[in-house]
Structure 1
Amino acid sequence: MTLAEKKDLSLRRMREALDRFGPETAVGWTGGKDSTVVLVLWRRILAEAFPGAAVRALNLDTGCKFPEVLEFRDRIARLWGLDLHVVRPDVDLNRYPLAADPLSCCRDLKIIPLNRAVAELGLPALLTGVRADENPDRAGRPWLEDYGGHSRAAPILEWTELDVWTFHVREELPWCSLYDQGYRSLGCMPCTGQSGSGERSGRDRRKEESMERLRSLGYF
């Protein structure tokens, strides 16, 4: 598919999500390039169907995020007038063994607070920036999944990294300054470095190899 065809498919999926789950649907916005594309497209869909409706965005702040990502998040949220909900884990980071065990770390700092927030906010569905080519586990996933109590949609599932950057440039979208410093995928500071040959080569390999298990627990 061409990028134009992928964009059309993504918009159709979002309209379907809107029909099924309503404007209370939120974007799981990390501040990264992929979920920013989803956020931009979702704003357009909402503006068409529900002019003036609040654009809900759910952001997970583990306490270990890069300052540049947090600055970008807050600046864009103000600029675009987002209904931003920032979720934080109920963990004492001064005592927590960060990155010692990637499964436990992702569960305690990401999955548990994320699921708690979705339930507390009563979100029927969450739109994510998950792409099939990021990880082998993500390649076989459907674009819409039931997570027991809410659904998750990956409207840009077929997009490539090049597609995402092409869209950013064509649409003149903003992005986090870390991308200009050699980062291709942004996560928590202890588990993220500047990337090498692969987009996620800067990520903790143990976590990447455990993606199937993390997904079963509720990870994006």
Structure 2
Amino acid sequence: MSLHDKIQETKAVLEQVLRAHDSRRAAVAWTAGKDSTVVLWLWRSLLLEMNQTPVLAVNLDTGVKFPEVTALRDELATEWAVELKIQVPDVDFLHYPLARDKLECCKDLKILPLQRALTQMDIAALLTGLRRDEHPDRMDRDVWERRQNPDHVQVNPILNWTEMDVWAFILDRGLPYCSLYDQGYRSLGCMPCTQPVELVENGGERSGRDQDKERQMETLRGLGYF
């Protein structure tokens, strides 16, 4: 399938979301990384075309995100008039054992804050930037997924895109992106668990992420991770 066809497929999914849900009950899970920024741009474009507001997004600020990522997030949220909910974890960072137990860390810093944010915002549809090709445990994912706690539908509109599709779209549309990608990062997570990785290496796109956590992706998904 060509990128043009994938874009049309994605737009059709987003239009279906808008037909099924008021824009106030649909939000983009926005990390300010390349994938979710593409989804946010497409969703925002549709809402503007349909004269609908607001453009809602939720960002999980774990407290250990790269400053370049949070700076881009804040800049784009203002420039694109995004109604952004920044959800922070309910932990004592002074004493919290960051990245010691990857499952517990992800649960405390990402999963529980996400569940609180969706409940507080009364979100019925959460749009993500998940792609099948970025991780083996995401190969069997669906565009439409029913999730619990709280009950909502997770929509993965660019699931069939590749890493190169995303970059082709970003460069063609002139979308802003985090400067860390130009420094060898291919996937942006929390600072303790992310490092640069060369595109020419044998490792996958997420090989710069902590591999203990990556091996437990299916378990994290069961706990409520994307």
TM-score, normalising length: structure 1: 0.97
Say whether residues 1:177 and 2:179 are aligned partners: yes
Which amino acid letter does the alignment assign opposite residue 189 of structure 2?
G
The answer for the alignment partner of 2:154 in structure 1 is: 152
CA shift, 1:52, in A, is 4.8
Aligned twin of 1:163: 165
Residue 11 (structure 1) shift: 0.5
Distance 1:75 1:120 in 2: 24
Report what 1:11 is aligned to. Answer: 11
| 1:201 counterpart SS class | coil
Q: Distance in 1 between matches of 2:83 and 2:43?
A: 13
Match of 1:78?
Answer: 78
Counterpart code for 2:102: P
Structure 1 residue 27 corresponds to structure 2 residue 28: yes
One-letter identity of the residue aligned with 1:33: K
Q: Give the root-mean-square deviation of aligned CA atoms.
A: 0.8
- The answer to whether structure 1 residue 194 and structure 2 residue 200 are counterparts is no
Distance 1:44 1:71 in 2: 22
SS of match in other structure, 1:58: strand
* Distance change >3 Å, CA 13–CA 52, structure 1 → 2: closer
Segments of structure 2 that go 5 or more residues without pairing to the other structure are none
Residue matched to 2:216:
210
Aligned residue in 2 for 1:45:
46
> How do 1:81-100 residues align onto structure 2 when only pairs under 5 Å count?
81-100=81-100
Match of residue 135 from structure 1: 135
| Percent of residue pairs bearing the same amino acid type | 54
Code of the aligned partner of 2:140: G
Q: What is the alpha-carbon distance in structure 2 between the residues aligned to residue 152 and residue 52 of structure 1? A: 21
| 8 Å CA contact retained: 2:23, 2:52 | no
Task: State the TM-score, normalized to the length of structure 2.
Answer: 0.95
